[in-house]
Structure 1
Amino acid sequence: MQKQHQKPRPPTSPRSALKTSSKRPNLKKLLRKAHVKPLKPLKQVAALPFRVDAEGRIEILLITSRDTGRWIIPKGWPMSGRKAHQAAEREAFEEAGLKGQIAASPVGRYHYQKRFDHGRAFPCMVRVYPLRVEAQHARWPEQDQRTLRWFPPEEAARLVHEDELQELLADFAVRPVESHG
Structure 2
Amino acid sequence: MQQLLHKIWSQTFQPMLSRPRRLQVAALCYRRDKSGCEVLLITSRDTGRWVVPKGWPMEGKSSAESAAQEAWEEAGVRCGRFEETPVGRFEYDKRLNNGALEPLETLVYAIEVQELRDDFPEAHERTRKWVSPKDAAEMVREPQLQDLLRGFSPS
Q: Same fold (TM over 0.5)?
A: yes
Between 1 and 2, higher relative CO (CA 8 Å, sep ≥ 6) is seen in 2
Corresponding position: 1:38 with 2:18: yes
Counterparts of 2:26 and 2:73, CA distance in 1: 12
Q: Which amino acid aligns with 1:146?
A: R
Shift of 1:84: 0.2
Partner residue of 2:42? 63
Which AA in structure 2 matches 1:72?
V
Q: Matches of 2:64 and 2:41 in 1, distance apart? A: 18
- CA RMSD of superposed structures (Å): 1.0
**Structure 1 length as normaliser, TM-score?**
0.74
Q: CA deviation at 1:138?
A: 3.0
Could you tell me which amino acid in structure 2 is paired with residue 124 of structure 1? L
Matches within 5 A, 1:142-153: 142-153=122-133
* Paired-residue identity, %: 44
Kindly provide the amino acid, as one letter, of the partner of residue 155 in structure 1: D
Larger strand share, 1 or 2: 2
**Alignment partner for residue 110 of structure 2, among 130, 140, 146?**
130
Alignment correspondent of 2:32: 52
* Aligned length in residues: 138
Q: Runs of at least 4 residues of structure 1 off by over 2 A?
A: none
The two structures have a TM-score, normalised by structure 2, of: 0.86
CA distance in 2, matches of 1:105, 1:41: 20
Report the counterpart of residue 90 of structure 1 in structure 2: 69
1:170 partnered with 2:150: yes
CA displacement, residues 81-107 of structure 1 (integer Å, 9 cap, x when unaligned): 100000000000000110211221000
Q: Does 1:81 align with 2:24?
A: no
List runs of 5+ in structure 1 lacking aligned partners.
Answer: 1-36
- Offset of residue 38 of structure 1: 2.6
Unaligned runs of 5+ in 2: 1-16
- Three-state SS of the structure 1 residue aligned to 2:65 is helix
SS of match in other structure, 1:58: strand
